Amino acid sequence: MTHESLLTSAMNRKPNTSVATAEIRRRAEAQLRGRQRNHRSKAGDPKSAADTQRLLHELEVHQIELEMQNAELQVARDWTEALLEKYTDLYDFAPVGYFSLDEQGRIMEVNLTGAALLGVERSRLINQRLPRFVVPATQPIFLAFLEQVFAGTGKQACEAALLKKDAAVFWASFHGTFPTSFRGSQKWCRVAVSDITSLKQAEEMQRRLDTLADTNRGLNQEIARRQTVEKALQKSEQHQSQLLKQSRHMQEQLRHLSHQILHAQEEERKRISRELHDVITQNLVGINVHLAAFSREVAGNPKGLRQKIARTRRLVEKSVATVHRFAGELRPTVLDDLGLIPALHAFMKEFTKRTGVRARLTVFAEVEHLNITKRTALYRVAHEALNNVASHANAGRVEVSIEKLPDSICMKIKDDGKSFSVERILHAKRNKRLGLVGMRERVEMVGGTFCVVSAPGQGTTVCVEIPLDKTCGGGGGNR
């Protein structure tokens, strides 16, 4: 608010002059009548002096009226000066800077707070353009604000950066209104300026805090993700460790199996060699001896010759049977010539005759459509399982069944003998027999699965499942 507006406001608020003048005149006349009564009591009232007295009366009333008006004016002036000083203090020491600007942004008036904001004495700011104190980057914002103020579109506000005299930059908030009165023909407006640097810093700090919070949320999510990955890796490591242990155990089993195979091969060779030496060789030597005797006795004793020939034939037949038995154990020719069913039937018949254990075979005919490798695996497993029954189970009956499943063939060998610990046998570190491990290896070589179930009072069941060839059909039967 300008000084002129403050003075105008003060003058508008003094007592009504016409009412005060009539009151002063009334009081002056009353005071003059009192004086005249005192004068008549002393000097009388001659009629010849009426005009003079009336003139004196007017003069004295006017004099008293002037004296009272001067006293009232003195009071009004003192009151106006006090009011002007009060509003001046409010204007100069207001918490915001007040600028009176023309259309070009020149400073017409400014309070002390506004001068302090710019760091320049008030007298040096008059007639300077306020935009020169605005940082160039924000000058378009301020000029647009000033244009809108003078357009008379109501209260306007903006924020811009100001440059102090000492080159310090601070953020300021501008609020402006177009005045309702003019100074002659010149337009002007009032602009209130506040330092909002702390607010801007707080907003920037809040933005940084928000950004930091977003970053922290992202970090927390990343930490959670990494913890999940770490747990998954730990589980994977545990799984890999278990697989490694299993792999090492299987490698050890394979090494042990290889040793057993070599040992079994050597033992089998020794057994075959011993059998050939002890049986076949003796038989052949006996045949040779008999043939030598034939040559000496051929002329003199025909009857004895016939007996020796008969004994020699029996030795030859025994040798042939032994050779056939060896060949059958190494590779039964009936498996290649006639198929799996006849081979199993012949072996189980011989098994019952040799051990006294009743054996029964249930099979479907189309099993012969399997390739020779799978049929051989089934035969070898049945052969080994029945030999184990004869050696360890103390059983009285064994059943071999081969049935067709939707996508595979299942062979079960069930006995009614005594049970054993399957896990102990399968995972034994020093298992000197091929046994279950060898059967499992044979089945897995053709892509099948192998399992053994043994329980007290229920005997033992060997179960083999081999993938079915596409050419194998349905059907079944007993042999």
Q: Decide which of 195, 229, 247 is a domain's last residue.
A: 195
Quick one: 395 and 370 in the same domain?
yes
Quick one: 83 and 49 in the same domain?
yes
pLDDT value, residue 219: 92
Mean pLDDT of 150-168: 87
> Left if phi > 0, otherwise alpha if psi is -120 to 50, otherwise beta: which for 105?
left
What's the pLDDT tens digit per position in 424-434? Answer: 666 655 554 45
pLDDT value, residue 443: 87
Quick one: 103 and 47 in the same domain?
no
Say which residues have a Cβ less than 8 Å from residue 364's Cβ, sequence separation at least 6.
402, 403, 404, 474, 475, 476, 477
Q: How far apart are the first and last CA of the chain?
A: 125
Mean pLDDT of 16-29: 63
Quick one: 349 and 474 in the same domain?
yes
Quick one: 405 and 355 in the same domain?
yes
Amino acid at 232: A
Higher-pLDDT residue of 416 and 471 is 416
2 has a pLDDT exceeding 90? no
Q: Decide which of 178, 195, 212 is a domain's last residue.
A: 195
Q: How many domains does the chain have?
A: 3
Residue 474's pLDDT band (cuts 50, 70, 90) = very low
Query: What radius of gyration, in Å, describes the C-alpha atoms of the chain?
Result: 66
CATH number of the domain bearing residue 395: 3.30.565.10
What's the pLDDT tens digit per position in 53-111? Answer: 777 878 888 888 888 888 888 888 878 777 767 766 677 778 888 999 988 899 999 99
Q: Decide which of 142, 175, 195 is a domain's last residue.
A: 195
Q: Alpha carbon of 118 to those of 135, 161, 268, 465: distances in Å?
A: 12, 11, 113, 97
**What is the chain's mean pLDDT, rounded?**
78
What's the pLDDT tens digit per position in 233-277? Answer: 999 999 998 999 888 888 887 767 766 765 666 566 566 666 666
Say which residues have a Cβ less than 8 Å from residue 376's Cβ, sequence separation at least 6.
335
Quick check: is 416 in a domain? yes
Q: Mean pLDDT lowest for which of 41-55, 89-103, 165-179, 382-396?
A: 41-55
Higher-pLDDT residue of 477 and 163 is 163
170 has a pLDDT exceeding 70? yes
Quick one: 28 and 116 in the same domain?
no
Quick check: is 219 in a domain? no
Higher-pLDDT residue of 229 and 394 is 229
231 has a pLDDT exceeding 80? yes
- The C-alpha atoms of residue 381 and residue 344 are separated, in whole angstroms, by 11
pLDDT value, residue 253: 77
Positive/negative CA dihedral, 403, 405, 408, 413: negative
Quick check: is 271 in a domain? no
The distance between the two most distant Cα atoms of the chain, rounded to a whole number of Å, is 232
What's the pLDDT tens digit per position in 283-342? Answer: 766 776 766 666 666 556 666 666 777 777 777 777 777 766 666 666 667 777 888 899
477 has a pLDDT exceeding 60? no
Quick one: 81 and 135 in the same domain?
no
pLDDT value, residue 369: 86
Range of the domain at 74: 3-92
pLDDT value, residue 5: 47
CATH number of the domain bearing residue 184: 3.30.450.20
> Left if phi > 0, otherwise alpha if psi is -120 to 50, otherwise beta: which for 459?
left
Does residue 177 contact residue 187 with C-beta atoms inside 8 Å? no
Quick check: is 205 in a domain? no
Query: Helices then strands (H, E): number in the chain?
Result: 14, 11
Mean pLDDT of 100-123: 90
Quick one: 392 and 408 in the same domain?
yes
